Chains A and B, each alone.
Chain A
Amino acid sequence: MSDQHPDLNLEIKRLIIDALGLEDITPEDIGNDQTLFGEGLGLDSVDALELGLAIQKRYGIKIDADAKDTRTHFSNVTSLAAFVTAKQAA
């Protein structure tokens, strides 16, 4: 599951680092299945909004901030890659 989209995973990690200004962190430091928010990488609610905006801009997809499953899509890099792939296919 984790290696289903290796290129996309790397791209999303770079997007996270760039969009959120994570100094001193490289894509290798972020695990595919590492929790992004709260415990894990330690991102917060402002980061969630910023990352949502970066993903909308990069992939031209719409994210509904109120949708129940948005939280699930943003839980880690693997789930984000799956979400982006599914949205782009739709």
Chain B
Amino acid sequence: MIRFNIAQWRAWAPGLVSADDWLRWSREPRPLTDDDAAPDVSFLPAMQRRRLGRLARMAFSVGWPLAEGHDSLPLVFVCRHGETPRTFDILSELAAGQPLSPTQFSLSVHNSVIGLWSILRGSTAEMTALAAAGDGLEQGMLEAAALLAEGAPAVLLIVCEEQPAPAYADWIDDVPFPYAVGLLLTPGDDWQLSPGQTKAEAEPCHWPHAVDLLRCLLTRQPHCHHAWKNRVWTWQRIH
């Protein structure tokens, strides 16, 4: 069982940018159509944002405003599938016997997004990139709670997934639409997260866990349950 505060949040999905957009969606959740649009990151100079792929733009657009004013802010970056469009492009070039783009290759590791974050923010705070399964939000929250327990005044948690390349559609079924959720976590007792277990495999959450937590937060639900395989996580609002 861990306790913490969610001091601020930011989220992005196709057509959902502002807090009001998300509040409306939370009251009537529905599938979103991906329009291939990437969020605005014009707060970065053009020379700096040229290497940011769509996933990085999503992560930066939610994380950057949350990080403002924090000198040394640890970051936990959670993404299960990574930049699959980039991976697919690189593999296609390899299959065709073409030389690989050095830029694409240099960005083809899971922690490239936090690497870019570190360079562009000039931050040497502790950063972690996790690729967990369906309960990446909760695994990332555990990591963040450990950093808070070690004395960090705040931790930034970013959970994001990009629309997978069409070639992977048969295997990736947990990304209904691209999304990024940023949570600025601080020490406190507002929220409690507890792990639990079920014998049988429980019904999975209808929305990605991070998006569902936001829905729960915005509609002021007292708690929500996120089941993944035989694990059931309970998020509970204490205050």
A residues apposed to B, CB below 8 Å: 20-25, 42, 46-47, 49-50, 53, 56-57
Question: Besides A47-B103, A53-B101, 13 other CB < 8 A contacts?
Answer: A21-B50, A21-B103, A22-B47, A23-B46, A23-B50, A24-B46, A42-B47, A46-B102, A46-B103, A50-B101, A53-B102, A56-B99, A57-B99
For B91-107 the 0/1 string (1 means CB < 8 A from A) is 00000000101110010
The main secondary structure of chain B at its interface with chain A is helix
Contact of A53 among B46, B50, B99, B106 (CB under 8 A): B99
Residues of B within 8 A of A21 (CB): 50-51, 103
The reply to whether the CB of B49 lies closer than 8 angstroms to some CB of chain A is yes
Asked whether A20 lies within 8 Å of B101 as measured between CB atoms, the reply is no
Q: Complex Cα distance A22/B49, Å? A: 9
Q: Complex Cα distance A21/B106, Å? A: 15
Asked whether B49 lies within 8 Å of A50 as measured between CB atoms, the reply is no
B45 to A, closest residue via Cβ: A24
B102 to chain A, nearest CB (A): 4
Residues of B within 8 A of A50 (CB): 101-103
Q: Complex Cα distance A38/B47, Å? A: 12
Within 8 A of A (CB), among B35-73: 46-47, 49-51
A56 to B, closest residue via Cβ: B99
A48 to B, closest residue via Cβ: B102
Asked whether A20 lies within 8 Å of B50 as measured between CB atoms, the reply is yes
A31 to chain B, nearest CB (A): 16
In this complex, the member of B51, B101, B103 whose beta carbon has the largest number of chain A beta carbons within 10 angstroms is B103
Residues of A within 8 A of B46 (CB): 22-25
Residues of B within 8 A of A22 (CB): 46-47, 50
Residues of B within 8 A of A46 (CB): 102-103, 106
Residues of B within 8 A of A53 (CB): 99, 101-102
Residues of B within 8 A of A25 (CB): 46
Q: Complex Cα distance A46/B46, Å? A: 16
24 A-B contact pairs sorted by A residue (CB < 8 Å)? A20-B103, A21-B50, A21-B51, A21-B103, A22-B46, A22-B47, A22-B50, A23-B49, A23-B50, A25-B46, A42-B47, A46-B102, A46-B103, A46-B106, A47-B103, A49-B103, A50-B101, A50-B102, A50-B103, A53-B99, A53-B101, A53-B102, A56-B99, A57-B99
B231 to chain A, nearest CB (A): 40
Q: Complex Cα distance A24/B46, Å? A: 6
Q: Complex Cα distance A47/B103, Å? A: 7
Q: Complex Cα distance A25/B99, Å? A: 26
Q: Complex Cα distance A57/B100, Å? A: 11
Residues of A within 8 A of B51 (CB): 21
For B78-117 the 0/1 string (1 means CB < 8 A from A) is 0000000000000000000001011100100000000000
Within 8 A of A (CB), among B135-182: none
Q: What are the nearest 7 A-B pairs in CB distance?
A: A49-B102, A24-B46, A21-B50, A23-B46, A50-B103, A50-B102, A46-B106
